[in-house]
Amino acid sequence: MRITLRLSAAYLCLMGLAALLLPGPASSSLQQPMSNFDLFATRTVGAILISLAMVDWFAAPSTGVLAANAFLNTALATIDMLAIAQGTIGASSWPGVVIHAAFLTLVITVLVHHRRTARHPVLRH
């Protein structure tokens, strides 16, 4: 469980730092011109991502933290897919969808394993 959260923390921190410090280049895959408000919003999202990374890194592993990660990755993958389908952002954003789907799969796998071992102590390592 901790490794999953540490991987998520590293990814969220990298994306958050890019959005906070380099909002233009970090958003270039969206293939849309950035207004001043877009730059502000991107930096704000960057700060939020870094905060979430800190939660993943420092929080005691729990079902709640993993469930929050599952929601985050489901929401972001869905938002990205809809935006790509509608032409709001460029098709070059598909790798982001794949990354969110991979993290979602990992988190669900860990949650299922955790629930199984919690119900059946014999399965614990």
Question: What's 101's DSSP letter?
Answer: H
Residue 118 has pLDDT above 60, yes or no: yes
With a cut of 80, say whether residue 121 has pLDDT above it: no
pLDDT digits (tens, 9 = 90+) for 40-93: 999 999 999 999 999 999 998 888 999 999 999 999 999 999 999 999 888 888
What is the average pLDDT value for the chain, to the nearest integer? Answer: 90
Strands in the chain per DSSP E: none
Contact predicate 4/107, CB 8 Å: yes
Q: What is the pLDDT of residues 6-41, one digit of tens each?
A: 999 999 999 999 999 999 887 777 777 888 998 999
Give the C-alpha separation, 106 to 53, whole Å. 16
